[in-house]
Structure 1
Amino acid sequence: MKQKNNNKAVLFRLLAYTKPYRLSLILSLLCALISVTLSLLTPILIGRAVDYIVGEGNVAFSKIIPVLAELALAIVGSAVFQWLMTYHTNKITFRTIKDLRTRAFHQLNKVPLRYIDQNSHGNIMNSMVNDIDTVSDGLLQGFAQLFTGLVTIFGTIIFMLMMNVTVGLAVILLTPLSLFVASFISKHIYSKFAEQSKIRGELSGLIEEMVGNQKLVKLLSYEEKSQECFEEINERLHQCGVLAQFYSALTNPCTRFVNGIVYATVGVLGAFTAIRGMISVGQLSSFLAYANQYTKPFNEISGVITELQSALASAQRVFALIDAEPESSDEGLLSVLACDGSVTIQNVSFSYNSEAPLIENFNLKVKPGQRVAIVGPTGSGKTTIINLLMRFYDTDSGEIILSGTDIRQMKRETLRNMFGMVLQDTWLFQGTVRDNIAYGKEDATEEEIIAAAKAVHAHGFIKRMPQGYDTVLTDEGSNISQGQRQLLSIARVMLRKPPMLILDEATSNIDTRTEVYIQRAFTKLMEGRTSFIVAHRLSTIKEADMILVMNKGKIIEQGNHEELLRMNGFYAQLYHSQFERHTD
């Protein structure tokens, strides 16, 4: 019962997306009704023509010809309205699916970073692409076919009852058998298609991970293990698919069996009725045509049910994405704020998992223009502090004050526009070098773009590329080196010249010589700007005004480079382990 109610809720929710196209929906249903009605007239016209054929050499041609003309008009009219119904159905389907995919992508931009981190990227992409396509192919297009089939069934029964009640009632009494078969198959199909859709998303996630990290797979000789993982998921998908197709394959033979029973019943009862003179031979032929026409929609509906169940399972996954909890609203928050670069963190606590506390009672005060370096072992909370500053995650308690204002009182766009951020993992899109540099400032002039590239010493290698700044980078910039990708990412920040900077291992992929130039460029860029520098290579932070040494989410040491060395504590150990030679 719960599954049935859930399916109904998903169906009505999906149909709600067709409301903007209500006129096309009405026209589609009207065309379907006219098309079916005209197709139901053809057996009557054929039966009437048969009755005008009395015997050999005794054919009433004068009466048959008008009937044949009416028959031709009914057939042509039915085909025309069938085409119009298909046109409007496709129009509704494609526009509704466009709206659904737009809504899902919009929600993907609204969900917090936590959602993206906690869900397989391949699974999310599978919902955005494959699941929505399944909804398009199954549910929406099948809905019109289902409507046509139901109209045909009820229309046929009405016509048969009008011709002869006895034969019509016999057909009605056999209808529950068809409904029982359809219901039995539907129940088993849904559960298997829902499971199949889930496993398909799992498989997409694995493939996306393997393709995106193929170098690491080969480096660690992980091919066999990844193959085993793939085969395990693929085997589950195979087993589930076999059962889904088995129940799906039952549809045709079962409905054909019921069709045969209905046809035979009509034929036998109709023949006895005709012998007794209660119906004519022409009407008997009409009954037989109706019996065939009556049972045909059950075949189609059973086939549609298979697609509907798969589509409902996919629609449920899409709505799960749409229903994901979005970030808290920015409505009514500050959109403009003068930034002096001061930052105060008061009593901040945060954890990704409530069972594993990370940052507890964290306090920090940064003056305008200060350069703050954050160092510490992996997992100490360095990047987490950056995530909280940018509101990629919100604090569990405490507050972060920027330029005298709590960042939760600012719109996220306002807050993030105050920062320029360079990460260890670069991101470039498929487009020209010029477009990638100007990504954060679309109105940038050619001179500004070139100046930013020169500032980070990227201009030289860009000019050596085949089309210079017009060179098209492939997906994620895979046709240039990692160091060059990093330089372009830094140039992007140089171009924007934000009031505050975050450098998260920004020079980790740059060679030592280039790093010297980049550090000079950063030094110039950081003048008068509050900067946060996350670094493992301590040589890059010697000039920082303040160095925070973190461990297990807490500041264990604080001071400049010289002060921390004199403390001879954790920082000194880190520094000496990197720069001193040890002898046995």
Structure 2
Amino acid sequence: MLGAVAATCAFAGLNVAAPKYLGDATDVVVNGIFLGTTDQERLVILLSAVAVMYVFASVFNWIQGALTARSVQGLMYGLRAAVEDKLHRLPSTYFSERSRGDVLSRATNDIDNISQAMNQLLTQLIMSVLMLCGSLAMMLWISPMLAAIALASVPLSTCITVLVARRSQAHFERQWKETGELNAHVEEFITGHEVIKAFGQQSRAADIFAQSNRRLARAATKAQYSAGVVQPLMVLMANLNYIAVAVVGALQVIAGAMTIGGIQAFIQFSRLFSQPVGQIGGLLNLIQSCAASAARVFALLDAEEDPAQRGGDTPVPADGTIVFEDVTFGYPGSPPAVRNLSFTAEPGQTVAIVGHTGAGKTTVVNLLLRFCEPGSGRITLGGIDTATISTDRLRGQFGVVLQDAWLFAGTIRENIAYGLPGATEAGILAAAEASYVDRFVRSLPGGYDTVLENGGEPLSQGQRQLITIARAELAGRPVLILDEATSSVDSRTELLIRQAMRRLRHGRTSFVIAHRLSTVRNADLILVMDHGRIVEQGTHQSLLAANSYYARLYNAQFSASPRRTGVLEAGL
């Protein structure tokens, strides 16, 4: 960047010096006409000097362009890296409170806009200021009176620029906000395109997009118009200033106070002076747009980070006992999701968490992984408060199989190895065989090198879930979380998944969240939740014998389909 600034200074200096030499060359020619002799040697020297100046000015202009591109792209590389790093440190609530399209727009569109603006601003703004100062100095040297006339338009130009800047900033902020909302709609349409088509809502989706597009167009038009009005006004002021300088300068030549070459050089300097003023006015558009985008990006970078990231360096204890001690937590703006939660999970136990939708089951998992922090109470691992353990170390103890089996773009082998970077081929195959992945992968044309896209296509939902189980198997972490892992598959695939999960749970502390109570009948401890509280806990048999809340849930779920219940339980 320093090199780009130095090259810009050299370019501006050469461009400012050249008109003075041209003016001197003009005086040599004019004097030759009136005196009958021309100093040929001096004329050649002056014109050659001007030619050399313009050649070197072009070279320095090319150098500053190349260095500017490198410096700005380096700056944007760092900014994108900072945003990506920040996204990993933000709490889950940040994403739940905002549309993904808006967050994506901040990380892509706004940074791209800053990059484009910086490419122009870094050189043009510096160059304009240098040309302004250099040409002003030369004008004062040639004729202070004409320089005063040229400066008369500056206060008015400044006032225009300031007034327009105040108005255009809000318009540009609105423009980029609407861009984020439009991206959110597009992202939603792409994600839910099958549902949109299934319900015949293409017209409605198109109307929503059209409304958002119109709002963006209006906001962008106002922003561009409010900022774009500056440059025409600056050009008008420059032209009026040019007329005044030309008239007064001609009178000065007639009066013998200036030479023709002097007035010629001054007029060139006045154009060099007014041109940067107009350019600065024109750059207002870029400045305001860049400022609006920068405000959005830095609002993301300044967002409050996940408190969990402030965990200390406490080592993870060998004793894997997990204890909830009177834990209460509520999401912002909502009543508590869990209230006075207390239970103990011994090492190697399978703890099942059941209850109606909204009972607080998934919140327990979020608290375990420190995606959210308790409002009161505490969670301990081996007697150590998890708040004192860094999230990397803590989450390194957990293997997770979620309800939504998300797979990344890449091969099946890469997706299994995602849980353990650097895993051996033998380890990957062993995990695949233990999770019943090997039997269907072998039938695929590409085998383990089959490339998955769009979250796991072309595999079925059940096959994707088995791969996530293989991923957790390979990771080999001591604590396992299974969140509704069988909720979206057929009965036959459910049997395979449950058998794979039974192998996966062996020797590990496991937390199983399930709506289908048949999947938790062999759990060591069942926590029955209702409205954020544990209303019952015990084994399957003891809870059925109590004939209370759990028994009613179980009987209501399975009494109508005994044949299916028997088949699934046999699969255990």
Aligned partner of 2:440 among 434, 456, 461: 461
Aligned partner of 1:292 among 250, 268, 271: 271
Aligned partner of 2:248 among 247, 269, 282: 269
**Paired position in structure 1 for 2:22:** 46
Alignment-mate amino acid for residue 28 of structure 1: A
- The offset of 1:517, in angstroms, is 2.7
Alignment-mate amino acid for residue 37 of structure 1: G
Structure 2: distance between partners of 1:435 and 1:325: 33
Structure 2: distance between partners of 1:351 and 1:80: 64
Structure 2: distance between partners of 1:331 and 1:393: 13
- SS at 1:156 equivalent: helix
**Paired position in structure 2 for 1:556:** 535
- The offset of 1:142, in angstroms, is 0.3
**Paired position in structure 2 for 1:20:** none
Structure 2: distance between partners of 1:408 and 1:156: 63
Question: More deviation in 217-226 or 305-314?
Answer: 217-226
- Indicate yes or no: 2:317 matched with 1:337: yes
- Indicate yes or no: 2:303 matched with 1:324: yes
Taking the TM superposition and a 5 Å limit, the aligned residue runs for 1:183-222 are 183-222=162-201
- Indicate yes or no: 2:325 matched with 1:349: no
Structure 1: distance between partners of 2:260 and 2:218: 53
Question: More deviation in 135-144 or 385-394?
Answer: 135-144
Taking the TM superposition and a 5 Å limit, the aligned residue runs for 1:241-256 are 241-256=220-235
Structure 1: distance between partners of 2:93 and 2:422: 32
Alignment-mate amino acid for residue 66 of structure 1: I
- Indicate yes or no: 2:387 matched with 1:411: no
The Cα offsets for residues 488-544 of structure 1, whole Å up to 9 and x where unpaired, read as 111101112221211101122332123223322322332232211101111211111
Asked whether the 8 Å contact 1:93–1:141 carries over to 2, the reply is no
**Paired position in structure 2 for 1:169:** 148
Alignment-mate amino acid for residue 427 of structure 1: W
Alignment-mate amino acid for residue 490 of structure 1: I
- SS at 1:548 equivalent: strand
The Cα offsets for residues 258-291 of structure 1, whole Å up to 9 and x where unpaired, read as 1111110110010000000111111121122122
Structure 1: distance between partners of 2:380 and 2:538: 21
- SS at 2:395 equivalent: helix
Change in 2 beyond 3 A, CA 1:468/1:398: same
Asked whether the 8 Å contact 1:423–1:503 carries over to 2, the reply is yes
TM-score by length of 2: 0.93
Asked whether the 8 Å contact 2:328–2:338 carries over to 1, the reply is yes
- The offset of 1:81, in angstroms, is 1.8
Aligned partner of 1:116 among 95, 98, 102: 95
The Cα offsets for residues 347-377 of structure 1, whole Å up to 9 and x where unpaired, read as 1000003551221111112222221111111
- The offset of 1:425, in angstroms, is 0.7
Asked whether the 8 Å contact 1:504–1:533 carries over to 2, the reply is yes
Question: More deviation in 313-322 or 197-206?
Answer: 197-206
**Paired position in structure 1 for 2:66:** 87
Structure 1: distance between partners of 2:388 and 2:193: 43
Structure 1: distance between partners of 2:381 and 2:49: 82
Structure 2: distance between partners of 1:542 and 1:135: 57
**Paired position in structure 2 for 1:6:** none
- Indicate yes or no: 2:257 matched with 1:281: no
Structure 2: distance between partners of 1:575 and 1:222: 38
- The offset of 1:101, in angstroms, is 1.1
What runs of 5+ residues in structure 1 fail to find an aligned partner? 1-23
Structure 2: distance between partners of 1:409 and 1:252: 58
- The offset of 1:331, in angstroms, is 5.8
Q: Number of aligned pairs?
A: 558
Question: More deviation in 207-216 or 95-104?
Answer: 207-216
The Cα offsets for residues 200-247 of structure 1, whole Å up to 9 and x where unpaired, read as 112112211221222233334443333333222222211111111222
Asked whether the 8 Å contact 2:72–2:118 carries over to 1, the reply is no
Asked whether the 8 Å contact 2:311–2:387 carries over to 1, the reply is no
Change in 2 beyond 3 A, CA 1:375/1:312: same
Asked whether the 8 Å contact 2:179–2:216 carries over to 1, the reply is yes
Question: More deviation in 443-452 or 387-396?
Answer: 443-452
Taking the TM superposition and a 5 Å limit, the aligned residue runs for 1:27-66 are 27-54=3-30, 55=33, 59-66=38-45
- Indicate yes or no: 2:58 matched with 1:98: no
Asked whether the 8 Å contact 2:27–2:259 carries over to 1, the reply is yes
Asked whether the 8 Å contact 1:182–1:302 carries over to 2, the reply is yes
Change in 2 beyond 3 A, CA 1:115/1:419: same
**Paired position in structure 2 for 1:228:** 207
- SS at 2:108 equivalent: helix
Asked whether the 8 Å contact 2:469–2:501 carries over to 1, the reply is no
Structure 2: distance between partners of 1:370 and 1:488: 24
Structure 2: distance between partners of 1:379 and 1:406: 27
Alignment-mate amino acid for residue 486 of structure 1: Q
Aligned partner of 1:473 among 428, 452, 456: 452
Structure 2: distance between partners of 1:212 and 1:492: 25
**Paired position in structure 2 for 1:544:** 523
- SS at 2:536 equivalent: strand
Asked whether the 8 Å contact 1:199–1:236 carries over to 2, the reply is yes
Structure 2: distance between partners of 1:253 and 1:444: 64
Structure 2: distance between partners of 1:130 and 1:116: 18
The Cα offsets for residues 291-311 of structure 1, whole Å up to 9 and x where unpaired, read as 222111122212211101100
Alignment-mate amino acid for residue 30 of structure 1: A
- SS at 2:377 equivalent: strand
Question: More deviation in 155-164 or 248-257?
Answer: 248-257
Asked whether the 8 Å contact 1:206–1:230 carries over to 2, the reply is yes
- The offset of 1:183, in angstroms, is 2.4
Alignment-mate amino acid for residue 357 of structure 1: P
- SS at 1:349 equivalent: strand
**Paired position in structure 1 for 2:282:** 303
Alignment-mate amino acid for residue 214 of structure 2: E
Structure 1: distance between partners of 2:334 and 2:359: 17
- The offset of 1:567, in angstroms, is 2.7
What runs of 5+ residues in structure 2 fail to find an aligned partner? 562-572
Alignment-mate amino acid for residue 335 of structure 1: P
Structure 1: distance between partners of 2:54 and 2:48: 10
Alignment-mate amino acid for residue 455 of structure 2: E
- SS at 1:477 equivalent: coil
